Amino acid sequence: MHQRGLTLIELLATVAILAILLHLAMPSFRQLINSNRQDVMANELLVALRGARTAAITRQSPVIIQPLEGNWAFGWRMIADASGKGLSDPDNPVLVVRQSGGKVRIVPNSRLAGWVRFNSLGTPAYAGASPGNGSLYICDDDAGKMHTRVVVAPVGRIRLDKRPGDSGDLCASTNGLDA
């Protein structure tokens, strides 16, 4: 009976070709993973901000949502402002705390740098900032541009904006608080 198998040279050639193909595929795979992380974070922020607005409307009292450790990439905390004293009252009930790994770079504009407070009508007010659109830029660090932007309109509508190359893109800046 004659056995058929691979020689050592054939096996090494196959492994070398496989290694080359994997090396070529890795950047695309890494980019796919990063894009997926950015999409997930944008959707989580959208849901969290909409949840805070909905909670304020249904409770008929203000609700504050703020970034953990001053950075939206690490997560957020939603607080019912029962006393009306805002974040200075430690007795205000915490509704939700969401922690994140900080793997996605999020740059807020000046309105969303500290916190956003939704009143009983769902209208936002910002920490020390004038009314206007609050934006959270989910950045693609590989491209140095915005991947997605979560926008809070002055009337309270919260939406995603995926227009690349937006002139208000703060992802190229270091701190994001320029606008």
For 4-31, how does the pLDDT look when each residue is reduced to its tens digit (9 = 90+)? 777 888 889 999 999 888 888 777 788 8
- The pLDDT of residue 176 is 43
What residue ranges in 49-144 does DSSP mark as E strands? 63-67, 75-80, 94-99, 106-108, 116-118, 124-126, 134-140
Q: Per the confidence metrics, is the pTM higher than 0.95?
A: no
- The pLDDT of residue 16 is 92
Q: What is the CATH number of domain 31-161?
A: 3.55.40.10
Q: Is 125 exposed, middle or buried (0-12, 13-18, 19+ CB in 10 A)?
A: middle
pLDDT at residue 179 tops 60: no
Report d(CA 178, CA 167) in Å as an integer: 13
Q: How confident is the model at residue 76 (pLDDT cuts 50, 70, 90)?
A: very high
pLDDT at residue 41 tops 70: yes
Left if phi > 0, otherwise alpha if psi is -120 to 50, otherwise beta: which for 69? left
Give the mean pLDDT of 101-113.
Answer: 89
Report d(CA 63, CA 116) in Å as an integer: 8
Give the mean pLDDT of 41-45.
Answer: 94
Among the listed residues 68, 71, 70, 76, the one whose alpha carbon sits nearest the alpha carbon of residue 45:
76
- Helix residue spans in the chain (DSSP H): 8-59
What ranges do the domains of the chain cover?
31-161
- The pLDDT of residue 57 is 95
Mean pLDDT of the chain: 86
- Helix residue spans in 60-104 (DSSP H): none
